[in-house]
Amino acid sequence: MTLPYRPHFLQQSLTPLKETPSQTAGPYVHIGLAPGDAGFQIYDTELGQDIAGPNAAGDRIRVEGRVFDGTGAPVRDVLIEVWQANAAGLYPHPETPVGADGGPESTENGFRGWGRVISDFESGSWSFDTIKPGRVAGRNGRPMAPHINLWIVARGINVGLNTRLYFADEPDANASDPVLNLIEQTDRRATLLAQPVSGTGSAQNPRVYQFDIHLQGPDETVFFDI
Is residue 112 a contact residue for other proteins (CB under 8 A)? yes
d(CA 85, CA 99): 9
Is residue 110 a contact residue for other proteins (CB under 8 A)? no
d(CA 168, CA 82): 18
Is residue 93 a contact residue for other proteins (CB under 8 A)? yes
Neighbours of 177 (CB within 10 A): 24
Q: Which of 52, 56, 88, 144 is in the footprint of other proteins by CB under 8 A?
A: 144
Which residue lies nearer to other proteins by CB, 61 or 144? 144
Is residue 177 a contact residue for other proteins (CB under 8 A)? no
Is residue 56 a contact residue for other proteins (CB under 8 A)? no
Q: Which of 55, 106, 110, 159 is in the footprint of other proteins by CB under 8 A?
A: 159
Residue 17 to residues 12, 68, 110, 197, Cα–Cα distance (Å): 11, 36, 36, 47
Which residue lies nearer to other proteins by CB, 2 or 204? 2
Helix (H, G, I), strand (E, B) or coil at 167: strand
**Near other proteins by CB under 8 A, which window of 53-61, 108-116, 123-131, 202-210?**
108-116
Q: Backbone phi, then psi, for 96, in 5-degree steps?
A: -65, 130
